[in-house]
C-alpha cells in the first residue's frame, strides 16, 4: 500500500490534469500528508484532520476551516479507494462569510461629507455627489445601496416628500425629505445616472 504522501502526490497530479490550479490548497494537502506520516498514521481520520487544521493555535477559525476544507477533498479521494479513510464532516469548523461592521455616520459627519462634495470643482459632479450622499443617508434607501438604482430625475414635490422615479421596486417611490437628504427647493430636478 502506498503512503499518504504518495497518495497526496497522485491526488494533486489528478487535480492538475483536470485543470485545477491548486496553489495554496495543494500545499496544504502535501503538508497534511506529511503530518499524518510523522504521526505514524496511514489513514485519514477526522480526529487527525481536525488536530492538523487547528495547528496554528493563534490563527482564527476561518483559517482552520480553510485548512480543513483543503483536506476534505483529499479525504474524499482516499475514501473512494479505501473506505477506512474518514471524510471530515462539512459542519466541522464552520466558517461563514465575515461581514464588515457598518460604520454609522452621525448627522454632523454627513453634513461634513456633503460640504466636501459641494466644494468639488465641477458643479454637476458636486451636486451629484451631494445628492447621492444625501440619498444614502436617507433611512429608506440606506440599506444595500438602493440609491444606485435611481435612473431618472428626482421631482421635488413638497417640502417633506421627494418622489424617486423608476427604482427597482416600481415606477415611483416616495422618500421622506430631511435635512440629511440635502434636497432643498433649489434642486428641483437633477439627472442621476448611477447605472453603468
Which pLDDT score is estimated for 2? 59
One pLDDT digit (tens) per residue for the chain, 196 residues = 458 889 899 999 999 898 888 888 888 999 999 999 888 888 898 999 989 988 877 888 888 888 898 899 999 999 998 899 999 988 887 776 667 777 888 889 988 998 999 999 999 999 888 888 887 777 655 444 444 444 434 444 444 444 454 444 555 555 544 554 454 444 333 334 333 3
Which pLDDT score is estimated for 96? 66
Which pLDDT score is estimated for 91? 82
Phi-psi region of 166 (alpha: psi -120 to 50; beta: other; left: phi over 0): left
* DSSP string covering the chain: ---HHHHHHHHHHHHHHTT---HHHHHHHHHHHHHHHHTT-SS--HHHHHHHHT-STTS-HHHHHHHHHHHHHHHHHHHHH-TTSPPPPTTSS--PPPPPPPPPPPHHHHHHHHHHHHTSSSHHHHHHHHHHHHHHHSTTTTGGGGGGG--S-EEE-SSSEEEEEEETTEEEEEEE--TTT---TT-S--------
Return the C-alpha torsion angle 19, 24, 29, 35, nearest 10.
160
Which pLDDT score is estimated for 92? 82
Confirm whether pTM is higher than 0.85: no
Amino acid at each position: 500500500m502506498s503512503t499518504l504522501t504518495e497518495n497526496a502526490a497522485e491526488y494533486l497530479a489528478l487535480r492538475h490534469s483536470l485543470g485545477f490550479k491548486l496553489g495554496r490548497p495543494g500545499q496544504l494537502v502535501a503538508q497534511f500528508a506529511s503530518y499524518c506520516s510523522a504521526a505514524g498514521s496511514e489513514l485519514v481520520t477526522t480526529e487527525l484532520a481536525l488536530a492538523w487544521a487547528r495547528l496554528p493555535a493563534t490563527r482564527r477559525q476561518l483559517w482552520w476551516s480553510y485548512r480543513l476544507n483543503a483536506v476534505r477533498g483529499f479525504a474524499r479521494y482516499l475514501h473512494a479507494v479505501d473506505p477506512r479513510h474518514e471524510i471530515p464532516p462539512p459542519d466541522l469548523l464552520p466558517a461563514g462569510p465575515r461581514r464588515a461592521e457598518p460604520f454609522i455616520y452621525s448627522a454632523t459627519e454627513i453634513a461634513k461629507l456633503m460640504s466636501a462634495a459641494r466644494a468639488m470643482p465641477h458643479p454637476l459632479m458636486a451636486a451629484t455627489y451631494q445628492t447621492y450622499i444625501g440619498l444614502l443617508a436617507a433611512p429608506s434607501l440606506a440599506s444595500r445601496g438602493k440609491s444606485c438604482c435611481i435612473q431618472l430625475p428626482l421631482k421635488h414635490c413638497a417640502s417633506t416628500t421627494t418622489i424617486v422615479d423608476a427604482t427597482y421596486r416600481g415606477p415611483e417611490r416616495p422618500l421622506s425629505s430631511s435635512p440629511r437628504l440635502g434636497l432643498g427647493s433649489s434642486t428641483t430636478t437633477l439627472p442621476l445616472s448611477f447605472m453603468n
